[in-house]
Amino acid sequence: MIAIPDASAAMTLPRHHFPIDLSSGESGGGLTIADDHVLRRLPAAPWKTVRPLIESMVAEGHLPDLIPWSEVASDGDWIQLRHPRVRVISYPHEWCAEMLQEAALAHGRLLAAVAKGGMALKDAHPWNVLFDGTRPVFIDIGSIVPLAALAELDYLKDARTRSGPVLAGDVFELMFLPYFLLPLAFHRVGLGQIARRMLWRYPLNGAERYPRVADFLREAGPRQWLRAIDGVRHAAKASVHLRTLCTNLERSGTLDVFADGLAELVGELSPPRQRSAYSGYYAAKGEAQALDRPETWNAKQLAVHAVLDRPEISTVLDIACNTGWYSRLAARLGKHVTAIDIDDACVADLCHSAGAAGEAIVPLVADLTQPTPDRQRHPCGGLLLIGSECRLRADAVLALGILHHLVLGAGIPLTDALQRLARPAIQSLLVEYVGLDDELVMKEPEFFAAYSRNPRDFAGFTLKAVIDALAAMGWQVGVAPSFPPTRSLLSCKRAAGGTHSA
């Protein structure tokens, strides 16, 4: 998931430096993301109408999911708001099903709250949400408008299939169905990878149109067809339910009832708890020790704790996090953690455990061998989505139990594999070396396809070769014991005068 250029560009600077200007959905509007805050330019007229109502609701605790803001400038037709930057910028194609569902429920809660003041939402899509840990935060304050303002929105008038006045339900029928309900239906039948691919391929304002059922079906392979058809069945049922809610809203005009119906509808698409071959990874390796009992920890766990327990480390990226033992260790040390893995079930498990404990972990389904580039607004240009190489940078990067899979399994050259792991590291990098003589490497050849095909090609995959490659990239490398003792941890700090490779 970390976007990587050719390895020869190892010490180039990142493409982006904050502040970053993003393309706005409104002509004349704008969004600037700085290191610790965001500036948002909005039309003044609707804001002046809704501001006192929103402020009173925030004061009364009715809008807990809405990001706090302050007004910093006004020039007549436009105002500028400032709000704190959510530390991790993530996108729906990286979320597990539980996170997408929570983002959907947050929309319903917000709509129910603002409806009491005669307001509505002019958007209903997941790019209006970021996650503070596992808690959804609604960040598009300008999406809250007077209910009457919906009638002036061309994209709603053009998309309507019914006569009569434009209603709040039209927003949800237009956006909520393709961007929440349809993906959740495929998550529900175990095809989350298809849901995420569609959310990346058809982001709002980043493609010519919204995703359709046929797009989801085309992504399914022959072995997935039965589940895909079941996903379509769930999506069709959700569509009928949503249309019924919209029809009832047209008759009654009761938005809180509509919002309650949305919550019920989203609940019907709750994903089942999944397990994968890696769900019991820590227990199988003898590393499932209690986080609050350091006297039981092994050498690897103690070494990682020592590396992270430093005040200069504020943010941590845990690559190939599995179910997140080390992510949770970092969070308990007061770090803000982004945890990534390609395994849906493991990320969902971490989402549940981190959410229950209130830990500052954003768990994402991400594959660092398939980078996410910048995404431009369609059709007029302008940066719409920020590439992962900028978003996922952290003070410290954990790359535990992954290097040998990249080299021996995927056949990625050693230097390139290390560069992929090192790129998001601002200060520190912790890499675990697992050699050719490791018991699991020898006993599980199916996990190391490249090595199994041509063992002689990997004779140079040694601890010394890894250390030398890291040193050539500008890292000072220390070696510590791991677990089991046949493995090693390479604790790396940037050498004096080194620059961050993004």
Q: Is residue 78 part of a domain?
A: yes
Beta strands in 355-409 (DSSP E): 361-365, 375-376, 383-385, 394-399
Residues 335 and 474 in one domain: yes
Domain, as residue range, for 218: 92-268
Average pLDDT over residues 138-142: 94
- Identity (one letter) of the amino acid at 277? A
- 460's CB contacts (< 8 A; 6+ apart) are 414
Query: What confidence tier does 228 reach under pLDDT thresholds 50, 70, 90?
Result: very high
Cα-Cα-Cα-Cα dihedral sign, residues 180, 186, 187, 189 = positive
Which pLDDT belongs to residue 274?
A: 87
Q: What is the mean pLDDT of the chain?
A: 90
**Position 6 pLDDT exceeds 50:** no
Q: Is residue 159 part of a domain?
A: yes
- pLDDT digit string, tens, across residues 176-207: 999 999 999 999 999 999 999 999 999 999 99
**Position 10 pLDDT exceeds 90:** no
Residues 391 and 465 in one domain: yes
Domain count, the chain: 3
Entry pTM: 0.93
Q: How far is CA 372 from CA 195, 322, 367, 369, 375, in A?
A: 16, 21, 9, 10, 9
* Residue where a domain terminates, one of 268, 300, 317: 268
Cα-Cα-Cα-Cα dihedral sign, residues 339, 344, 349, 355 = positive
Q: Is residue 356 part of a domain?
A: yes
More confident residue, 78 or 156: 78
More confident residue, 3 or 253: 253
First to last CA, the chain: 13
Which pLDDT belongs to residue 444?
A: 86
Residues 45 and 100 in one domain: no
Query: Which residue has 């529900």 as its token pair?
Result: 188
**Position 157 pLDDT exceeds 80:** no
Residues 249 and 177 in one domain: yes
**Position 217 pLDDT exceeds 80:** yes
* Residue where a domain terminates, one of 50, 84, 118: 84
What is the rounded CA–CA span in Å between residue 205 and residue 198? 14
Residues 435 and 468 in one domain: yes
The angle subtended at Cα 125 by Cα 372 and Cα 56, nearest 5°, is 125
Residues 355 and 418 in one domain: yes
What is the CATH number for 43? 3.30.200.20
Pick left, alpha or beta for residue 35 (phi over 0 → left; psi -120 to 50 → alpha; otherwise beta). Answer: alpha
Residues 137 and 197 in one domain: yes
Residues 259 and 233 in one domain: yes
Quick check: 334 and 263 in contact, CB under 8 A?
no
- pLDDT digit string, tens, across residues 35-94: 999 999 999 988 999 999 999 999 999 999 999 999 898 888 999 999 999 999 999 999
Q: Is residue 279 part of a domain?
A: no
Q: Is residue 463 part of a domain?
A: yes
Backbone angles phi, psi at 446, to 5 degrees: -65, -20
Residues 193 and 300 in one domain: no
What is the rounded CA–CA span in Å between residue 71 and residue 51? 10
What is the CATH number for 399? 3.40.50.150
How many CB atoms are located within 10 Å of the residue 444 CB? Answer: 11
Quick check: 403 and 417 in contact, CB under 8 A?
yes
- 240's CB contacts (< 8 A; 6+ apart) are none
As a whole-number percent, the residues of the chain with pLDDT over 70 amount to 93
**Position 14 pLDDT exceeds 70:** no
Q: Enumerate the H helices of 148-254 as residue ranges.
A: 154-159, 168-171, 182-188, 192-201, 213-219, 225-252
Residues 343 and 447 in one domain: yes
More confident residue, 73 or 100: 100
Q: Is residue 422 part of a domain?
A: yes
Nearest to 36 by CA among 92, 89, 102: 89
**Position 139 pLDDT exceeds 80:** yes
Residues 59 and 115 in one domain: no
* Residue where a domain terminates, one of 51, 84, 117: 84
Q: Is residue 10 part of a domain?
A: no
Query: What confidence tier does 500 reach under pLDDT thresholds 50, 70, 90?
Result: low
Q: Enumerate the H helices of 358-484 as residue ranges.
A: 388-391, 403-404, 414-422, 439-443, 449-453, 463-472
Q: Is residue 218 part of a domain?
A: yes
Residues 72 and 107 in one domain: no
